[in-house]
Amino acid sequence: MSVEGGEEHGPTRAWRADENGDDDPSADPLADPEEQRVLLSTLDSFRQYRRQSHYNTTHRRRQNLYALPPHHRNVLTAPPFSLLDHLSAVDEAIDSNADIADAIFARGLASFNIDDLPASAQHDPATLPRLDRRWLRDRSQASA
């Protein structure tokens, strides 16, 4: 929330004021469907960070490790390589970064007055387009 001229404005009000400080709804970049698509796509990237990072970074490497012949796997999991310890440390780093990504996602939803995604929709790939359509419909009804 920013305070300008002693008046509090919500997070989406900053771009709606013209140079005189008057409301200018035409200046709202989220009135453009392309801007909405980009915003929702960006927020969705933060939402998917944890799952995608674990899969692309450590899950596949563990699968490849266990696909090796036992002798090679034993060499890689023993010191000095200790590959499993290294992968566990990478998992912890991903989780730490994902906590930040989750906070950015939640704040982004709140900043643009988007309802949180229902838990059942978290793994549904069609969620983003539905959310985009619902948000567009709600914004057009609010401005009418």
For residue 131, the model assigns a pLDDT of 60
Query: Could you tell me if residue 101 is inside a domain?
Result: yes
For residue 112, the model assigns a pLDDT of 83
Reported for 99-106, long-range contacts at CB under 8 A and 24+ positions apart, including other chains, are: 101/46, 101/47, 101/49, 101/50, 102/46, 102/47, 102/49, 102/50, 104/46, 105/43, 105/46, 105/47
- Residue 61: band (very low, low, confident or very high) from pLDDT cuts 50, 70, 90: very high
For the chain, the domain total comes to 1
Query: Could you tell me if residue 127 is inside a domain?
Result: yes
Q: What is the mean pLDDT of the chain?
A: 77
For residue 19, the model assigns a pLDDT of 61
The DSSP-derived string for 46-76 is HHHHHHHHIIIIIIHHHHHHHHS-HHHHHHH
Cα 32 versus chain centre, distance? 21
The pTM (predicted TM-score) of the whole model is 0.62
Structural domain of residue 39, as residue ranges?
Answer: 32-143
Query: Locate tokens 């989220």: which residue?
Result: 30
Q: Cis (ω within 30 of 0) for the bond into 80?
A: yes
Q: What is the pLDDT of residues 4-44, one digit of tens each?
A: 444 444 444 445 555 665 556 566 767 788 888 888 899 99
Query: Could you tell me if residue 24 is inside a domain?
Result: no
